[in-house]
Structure 1
């Protein structure tokens, strides 16, 4: 497949990649599904603090993969709906929900841009989007309009993401290598997966997009949502660069290394 045709067929190319990796991910130590079923919580402390109490609230998780974060919110008392464009991921999420007795959890197969139709026009107290989601979407303004339409009056959208500044750094974690302001789709051809780099895979092409902080905030506020906070975090969840040091599952730069943001989070509310 040429780079041009990959960009033109970005949705099909990316879906094939994710479909193939679902069974690899569900069997991986990285996700530890058995540990999750036994009670392990994959949500990050800053997320639970910033989202707050979800008991009795409706929560929609966009681009939910196979639903571990989604079901973690269900364990905290939310009535959850997860949406993902990968049918194998949605099937796996439903199976895990059954294993933990999350009878009210619902999972829907749909492209994120088609979510309002797939969800029959429903709105939710909380629309949640977790780490590693926005890079798969070419049109961020359309995503923001879609997500905002799904937030009920008085509710909010919450986003936790890897910081786009980290995407400009070379493998040494020190050198600026890529253009922060690039907007064309970048085609990658990489075997394996972040959850198991040695896994044998065949659907290895993906198309990803860079979205800067200004683009994200501007897209959301243009919909009428009111930004409540934007927080930048100086750590990440995996060994993104060899120079990072790991402590208790958190990866940070050494004390003598200049810090840059590696993740960010924001919350934007819809007026009543």
Structure 2
């Protein structure tokens, strides 16, 4: 298990970095808030198919950023609560909810993940959802899994969709392994730009942790959650490597005949009655 030892103020640094990203992201073509307001969904096509009917179900989205995934589930009928540690992101999410007429079915709360149980007032949910690019910002997955379990009702499920950790080990061309899949501890980055189009940031430092797939599964099992499936996907949400091409799912994949690796994965884990 990785920890935040010897990484001073990692939470403050990351919060400041993400606060700075919000205005850039909100104005970016990548996030396309105008298209979202007009009715676009940000969920991958396989997500509704895997999670099933969410109408009338209580869904908590951890690390929700500007709330587009959260509100995409609300558009499908869920009663949603989004949580993020960035106040500007939550403010943007609340505005989006109002803009698309879902303010009555969508609640957004400012909190870091580890304080989610207290921040949400002890509420329990049928579904906890965590989307792409979230886990690298958390130093302790055992603690995260316990929070997920505490947020779920008995019989409730975590639905996790993430970038595959293998993709973090390759170079920018996706042709060579340049990072240790099992690297311990934190990695600090200082980058003037976020991953979208737009101007440079002013708070440029962030701290991240690479979590192998086995660490994720083991943390959830240790928190009393039963893994129902783990699916690895050959597509991703953006053109991470030059060889990737747009496919029929609105994602990106290696072309036919190119050797493939998993680019994303999805996982469903259920809290059985009497679970911890």
* TM-score range normalised by the length of the shorter chain: over 0.9
Asked if 1:231 corresponds to 2:231, the answer is yes
Corresponding residue SS for 1:187: strand
Measure, in 2, the Cα distance between the counterparts of 1:155 and 1:86: 27
Q: Could you tell me how far 1:220 is from its partner in structure 2?
A: 0.1
Asked if 1:151 corresponds to 2:152, the answer is yes
Measure, in 2, the Cα distance between the counterparts of 1:171 and 1:33: 28
- The residue aligned with 1:218 is 218
Matched residue count: 268
Summarize the alignment of residues 201-212 of structure 1 with structure 2, pairs less than 5 Å apart: 201-212=201-212
- The residue aligned with 2:52 is 52
Q: Could you tell me how far 1:37 is from its partner in structure 2?
A: 1.0
- The residue aligned with 1:163 is 164
Measure, in 2, the Cα distance between the counterparts of 1:8 and 1:254: 43
Measure, in 2, the Cα distance between the counterparts of 1:113 and 1:32: 30
The answer to whether the Cα contact below 8 Å between 1:6 and 1:187 also exists between their aligned partners in 2 is no
Q: Could you tell me how far 1:171 is from its partner in structure 2?
A: 1.7
Q: 1:44 to 1:226 in 2, by over 3 A?
A: same
- The residue aligned with 2:32 is 32
Q: Could you tell me how far 1:174 is from its partner in structure 2?
A: 1.6
Render the CA deviation track for 1:129-169: whole Å, top value 9, x for unaligned.
00000000000110011111101111100000000011111
Asked if 1:183 corresponds to 2:178, the answer is no
The answer to whether the Cα contact below 8 Å between 2:194 and 2:200 also exists between their aligned partners in 1 is no
Q: What RMSD, in angstroms, separates the aligned Cα atoms of the two structures?
A: 1.4
- The residue aligned with 1:93 is 93
Asked if 1:141 corresponds to 2:152, the answer is no
Measure, in 1, the Cα distance between the counterparts of 2:173 and 2:59: 39
Structure 1: gaps spanning 5 or more residues: none
Asked if 1:268 corresponds to 2:236, the answer is no
Q: Could you tell me how far 1:5 is from its partner in structure 2?
A: 10
Measure, in 2, the Cα distance between the counterparts of 1:140 and 1:171: 27
The answer to whether the Cα contact below 8 Å between 2:74 and 2:80 also exists between their aligned partners in 1 is yes
Q: Could you tell me how far 1:6 is from its partner in structure 2?
A: 8.7
Summarize the alignment of residues 57-136 of structure 1 with structure 2, pairs less than 5 Å apart: 57-102=57-102, 103-136=104-137
Q: Could you tell me how far 1:246 is from its partner in structure 2?
A: 2.0
Structure 2: gaps spanning 5 or more residues: none
The answer to whether the Cα contact below 8 Å between 1:127 and 1:150 also exists between their aligned partners in 2 is yes
Measure, in 2, the Cα distance between the counterparts of 1:240 and 1:190: 17
Measure, in 1, the Cα distance between the counterparts of 2:97 and 2:251: 27
Measure, in 2, the Cα distance between the counterparts of 1:13 and 1:45: 34
The answer to whether the Cα contact below 8 Å between 1:6 and 1:13 also exists between their aligned partners in 2 is no
Normalising to structure 2: TM-score of the pair?
0.94
Measure, in 2, the Cα distance between the counterparts of 1:22 and 1:80: 21
Asked if 1:257 corresponds to 2:258, the answer is yes
Corresponding residue SS for 1:8: coil
Q: Could you tell me how far 1:113 is from its partner in structure 2?
A: 0.2
